[in-house]
Structure 1
Amino acid sequence: MLVEQTTLPDVLILTPRRFGDARGWFVESHSDQAFDRAGIPTRFVQDNHSLSAQAGTLRGLHYQRPPMAQAKLVRCTKGAMRDIAVDFRRGSPHFGQWVAVELSAENGQQLLVPEGFLHGFVTLTDDCEVQYKCSAPYAPDCDAGIRWDDPTLAIDWGVTDPILSDKDRIQPLWADTISPFTVTP
């Protein structure tokens, strides 16, 4: 597994090795042993799979509050997407900064989004399938988010009029939210 840093030190791009022959290819999409060798302590307890029928579908920005905070390992298994992670940890030197990575079925890359980060994505193709592992189960009472088009964050999603859920349309703004996550320098 190739491990690459992004501009946010705790957000990693992971590229599992593909083994190919005339039949196609095989990939070990996740391994606790590979994570151990790379020094990544995260363990996962839930797998999620979404289908977005139309390009321009935006999901996010989401997080779960402690004690059910989630790290996510995100990959695109059909089509392509622009994946976004935002540092939401008060006291972090990168607080409020974001990174965008294109994930596709073709490039096979995955994004590791640690606890304390907002996460969202926009699909670049029709019938886009996204699969992601979570380090904690979904907990509706801890579910929260920030508006995708927050002017303080000024995220470049690559779309101006995305397809949104009702929930994502009414998320609060960054300035109106106090992060439940902190880091000590």
Structure 2
Amino acid sequence: MKIVETPLPGVLLFEPRVFGDERGFFVESFRESWLREAGIDATFVQDNQSRSRRGVLRGLHYQRVNPQGKLVRAARGAVYDVAVDIRRDSPHFGAWFGTRLDDESHRQLWIPPGFAHGFCVLSDAADFAYKCTQYYDAASDAGIRWDDPDLGIEWPVFDDIAPQLSDKDRLHPRLAERAPDSLPRCRSAS
């Protein structure tokens, strides 16, 4: 496993070794020691998986209370994945990092607690799988507008299809419209 630091401190890319031949491939998708090696002290309590079609954009999501750390991957297909630092006292507040995750490279992205997260589907369909450090809490569920001009996220452009959003995601406010006490506080990078 190769661990790659991103321009956004605390957000890490995990690049596993993929063993393939004419029969297919084998890859270890998770090993706790990888996290320890990267300095991440996390216990996962919930696994989630979604399936979406090309052009679907989900996010940007976070929890106001008990923020979730997430280890995310595209189990099938390809997505463009984004993490945004929304910790109100972070020196990187409002900074974002995006990368392609797909079922060929098997790369995974670690998104620390206190970051908003979203992705859009690049392939015809994608199965998106992720491990969470806190349970989902509907009462704490919140989001930031995916196209917030202050963030300037460079989502991939689809020439033939507009991003498909849920009503909830379409109505999220901009980051500047969120009350500071509705945003998580800065913790360690793990």
TM range (shorter): over 0.9
SS in 2 for 1:99: strand
Structure 1 segments, 4+ long, off by >3 Å, are none
Is it true that 1:29 corresponds to 2:29 in the alignment?
yes
Give, in whole Å, the separation in 1 of the partners of 2:18 and 2:173. Answer: 41
Corresponding residue for residue 20 of structure 2: 20
Letter in 2 for 1:85: A
Alignment of 1:1-150 (within 5 A): 1-53=1-53, 55-66=54-65, 68-150=66-148
Q: Describe the shift of the 1:25–1:150 C-alpha distance in structure 2 as closer, same or farther (beyond 3 A).
A: same
Q: Is the CA contact 1:56–1:159 (under 8 Å) kept in the aligned structure 2?
A: no
Per mean C-alpha deviation after superposition, the further-off stretch among 115-124 and 159-168 is: 159-168
Give, in whole Å, the separation in 2 of the partners of 1:175 and 1:39. Answer: 31
Q: Describe the shift of the 1:51–1:4 C-alpha distance in structure 2 as closer, same or farther (beyond 3 A).
A: same
Q: Is the CA contact 2:58–2:120 (under 8 Å) kept in the aligned structure 1?
A: yes
Task: Tell me the percent identity.
Answer: 51
Give, in whole Å, the separation in 1 of the partners of 2:113 and 2:91. Answer: 16
Is it true that 1:166 corresponds to 2:167 in the alignment?
yes
What TM-score, normalized by structure 2, do the two folds share? 0.90
Is it true that 1:154 corresponds to 2:155 in the alignment?
no
Q: Is the CA contact 2:8–2:96 (under 8 Å) kept in the aligned structure 1?
A: yes
Per mean C-alpha deviation after superposition, the further-off stretch among 37-46 and 118-127 is: 37-46
Give, in whole Å, the separation in 1 of the partners of 2:163 and 2:18. Answer: 33
Q: Structure 2: 5+ residue runs without aligned partners?
A: none
Give, in whole Å, the separation in 2 of the partners of 1:39 and 1:128. Answer: 30
Letter in 1 for 2:132: C
SS in 2 for 1:14: strand
Corresponding residue for residue 180 of structure 1: 183
What TM-score, normalized by structure 1, do the two folds share? 0.93
Q: Structure 1: 5+ residue runs without aligned partners?
A: none
